[in-house]
Amino acid sequence: MEQLGKLGMMIRGALNKKLAEGLRFTAQQNKALTEHYHDFPKTPDGYDAWHKTLHKILDESYARLENQN
- Positions of the chain with pLDDT lower than 70, given as ranges: 1-4, 7, 69
Q: Does 33 reside within a domain?
A: yes
Report how far residue 23's alpha carbon sits from residue 64's, in angstroms, rounded to the nearest whole number.
Answer: 12
Q: Does 39 reside within a domain?
A: yes
For residue 59, what are the domain limits?
23-69
Kindly state the percentage of the chain with pLDDT values over 70. 91
Number of compact structural domains in the chain: 1
Whole-number pLDDT of residue 29: 95
Q: Does 44 reside within a domain?
A: yes
